[in-house]
Structure 1
Amino acid sequence: MAEASTVTDLFIEDLNSKHPNISKAICDFYSEGCIAALVKNGHVDGVTVLVDGIVKQKYKLRWTKEISDAGWQEEKVISEFAGYAMAFILVFELTDYTILHQSATGTGIDYYLCHKKGTKGYDEKNFLKGARLEVSGIFKESKTNTLDVRLKSKINQTKPSDNSGLPAYISVTEFSNPKSSFVEK
């Protein structure tokens, strides 16, 4: 795993342009959840997140939108949608994939991925030659709910769809002290 010395900006509100298969409304909702998770944990635009897994690198999370607190009260809900936003950002930043579609219940994953247009694996006639994505968010770590514990659980959770033969990416983000694990299984 390579460690980079420069800090790249990641724009939370830019999900739909990177994942056009997912509606702008859903991308905006996930983005807003991510901003809520960060703001409710006392962070401001430009906060650093440490990503570990297929790379080890620091990124600056950037946003401009001010959110209404009224719609973001439940930490479990906030961290779920915030986790999706971070996973979408990291999929685009760290892989040759983009989000294809949400998966069905029982597959052990949240989304299927397809190759980005212009990458080596891209095939406009067969989008199913992609990958799988399992996502989780943690509003604030506790002794029993840590990034490492959740990552192990999520890796195990992908087993029902292992017979697809597709690689699986697992993204877990903690928002009180922003850090993400983004690994390939």
Structure 2
Amino acid sequence: MNQIKVLDLQSLSQGLPAITPAFGAAIAEAGAICLTDEAHQPGVELGVEGEFSTQFKLDWQPVTEQTRRCWNDEEYTTEQAAYGIAFLLIVQLTNLTVIERSRKGTGFDYWLGNQDSVATLPFERMARLEVSGIRRGNRGQINARVKQKTEQTRASDTQGLPAYIIVIEFSRPISIISAKQNSEGTVFQ
């Protein structure tokens, strides 16, 4: 019998190569807000569809009133929460990790590199990551967002690197992961 793996949002506070522990802790709080606001309890299952088909249980710390006041901007909170879950999904489902924030205008959010080579600098940019969050959306809205974000990555297609597009919808919760192939037709996993 297969046991469902847990994505613990609090583990983001340990950081990643391009995510400081402080930023990781902050986006974990954003995730807790989004999931709690949608009436989910720790242990709720996140369905993953698209390039991968699996499920994870989500775990997070309780939301305090101070946390709610801090994360009062729903749009910003949803975006930050989506980053956190997307980072955990990339680390769990691929051999990649977040190695660098992308600059504005590139069409994607983060550079991804091999998890096995994070001890050696400089990190090799192996793929791109574009993330989007939707607090409450139907399947049509989710699919439209995936398409929009896939198109957005065209600005950096000249890099010749594959791209992962991850859309997180919090009311279900569900994650759609789309993989855009590189110029040789491959996607790293």
TM-score, L = length of structure 2 = 0.86
Q: 1:135 aligns with which of 131, 134, 138?
A: 131
Match of 1:149 in 2: 144
- Following superposition of structure 1 onto structure 2, how do residues 28-107 of structure 1 map, counting pairs within 5 Å? 28-67=25-64, 68-107=67-106
Alignment of 1:100-179 (within 5 A): 100-117=99-116, 124-141=120-137, 146-179=141-174
Deviation at 1:114, TM superposition (A): 1.0
Separation of aligned partners in 2, 1:143 and 1:117:
36
Whole-angstrom distance in 2 between the partners of 1:32 and 1:175: 14
Identity, % of aligned positions: 35
For 2:165, give the aligned amino acid. Answer: I
| Separation of aligned partners in 2, 1:114 and 1:123 | 11
> 1:6 deviation in Å?
3.7
Q: CA deviation at 1:128?
A: 2.7
Instruction: State the alpha-carbon separation in 1 of the partners of residues 139 and 113 from structure 2.
Output: 36
SS in 1 for 2:133: strand
Structure 1 unaligned spans of 5+: none
C-alpha contact 2:10 2:60 (8 A) present in aligned 1 = yes
Q: In structure 1, how many angstroms separate the alpha carbons of the residues matched to 2:21 and 2:125?
A: 24
Question: Which structure: greater helix fraction?
Answer: 2
Cα distance 1:110–1:131, how it changes in 2: closer, same or farther (>3 A)?
same
For residues 32 and 5 of structure 2, what CA distance do their matches in structure 1 show? 18
Q: Which residue of 2 aligns with 1:12?
A: 9
Distance across 1 between alignment mates of 2:30 and 2:154: 28
Inter-partner Cα distance in structure 2 for 1:171 and 1:138: 11
Deviation at 1:66, TM superposition (A): 3.0
Moved over 4 A (4+): none
TM-score, scaled to structure 1: 0.88
Distance 2:122 2:70 in 1: 39
RMSD after superposition:
2.0
2: CA distance between counterparts of 1:84 and 1:182?
A: 13
Query: Does the 8 Å contact 1:78/1:139 carry over to 2?
Result: no
* Uncovered stretches (5+) of structure 2, i.e. residues with no partner: 181-189
Q: How many residues align?
A: 178
Q: Which amino acid aligns with 1:59?
A: F
